[in-house]
Amino acid sequence: MNDTFQLDGAAVPFAPGQTVMQAALSAGHYIPHLCYHPEFKPHGSCKLCTVKIGGRTMASCTMPAEAGLNVECNIEELNSLRRTLVQMLFVEGNHFCPSCEASGNCQLQATAYELQVMTPRFNEFYPDRPLDGSHPDILLDFNRCILCELCVRASGEVDGKNVFGLSGRGITKHLIVNAESGLLKDTDIALTDKAMQVCPVGVILKKGKGFSVPIGERRYDQRPVSAQALDDAPRQADASGSCAACEGTS
């Protein structure tokens, strides 16, 4: 039988090697996140999944699950901080949801709805970031990048191409293309690459496919981000081979 920890008063079973985030999602408990992806090793960059354990804050995606932990997640103190982080991400880039191809498929937008972020809080930065339309099949809109590094990890760890990288520090940190020219056309990226599938916003787009799925019928239009995250979470099978955590996750 798996050990358990407490998450907002509920017992959460975990398997050896799981993090608090992984165990929570597997057991049907949503923790807000942006940079975490079930197929990659977490690195805790967005901090949206921060929880409190023993009065201390830490990223649940990198915190190993341990028996007896008392984890606080869905409390107003943390949700207020999460709303602030999301509001900062919106103003640090150029996110114009009504005209964005990713609207309805955007995890940042869906997470904002989940956290009830309905109004702006900070002044817009309106950064001047270029578009890269050099590739015949793919458009890059750097204006929307939230520095989650998912495309970097997918291209390096899965595709084996290292097409993307991050450069700079602090406010100057930005996504780059690893080519001498800095242009996507001078890489070997392909439409079938994993890097094409993981962007949580609208940075990496297929050309010629704009609004092929009408707004109102897209991923997060159908079900909220919390339900989608639980659907995507790997499940632990019990001794009988059935998935004990699969019930009641919607």
User: Bigger pLDDT: 14 or 208?
Assistant: 14
Task: Tell me which of 3.30.300.210, 3.20.20.80, 3.40.50.880, 3.30.70.20 is the CATH number of domain 81-210.
Answer: 3.30.70.20
Which tokens is 80 given? 């207020």
Residue 41: C-alpha distances to residues 27, 89, 180, 243 (Å): 19, 23, 29, 23
> Per the structure block, which two tokens stand in for 101?
């191809």
Confidence of residue 241 (pLDDT cuts 50, 70, 90): very low
Residue-level pLDDT at 237: 46
Q: Determine the Cα–Cα distance for residues 145 and 150; give it in Å rounded to an integer.
A: 11
CA 41 to chain centre: 13
CA neighbor of 33 nearest in space, from 96, 135, 114? 114
Q: Start-end ranges of CATH 3.10.20.740 in the chain?
A: 3-74
* Helical packing angle, 107-114 and 76-92, nearest 10°: 150
Class of domain 3-74: alpha beta
C-alpha to C-alpha distance for 152 and 164, rounded to whole angstroms: 5
Predicted confidence band at 236 (pLDDT cuts at 50, 70, 90)? low
Choice among 73-87, 117-131, 218-232 with the minimum mean pLDDT: 117-131
In one-letter notation, the amino acid at residue 65 is A
pLDDT band at 239 (very low <50, low <70, confident <90, very high): very low
- DSSP label at residue 10: E
Helix or strand holding residue 91 (H, E):
helix 76-92
**For the chain, where do the domains classified as CATH 3.30.70.20 start and end?**
81-210
pLDDT at 246 over 90: no
The tens digit of pLDDT for each residue in 32-43 reads 999 999 999 888
pLDDT band at residue 170 using 50, 70 and 90 as cut-offs: confident
Give the span between the Cα atoms of 160 and 193, in whole angstroms.
Answer: 10
Tokens of 32: 């807000």
Residue range 188-215, pLDDT digits in tens: 999 999 999 999 999 999 998 788 888 8
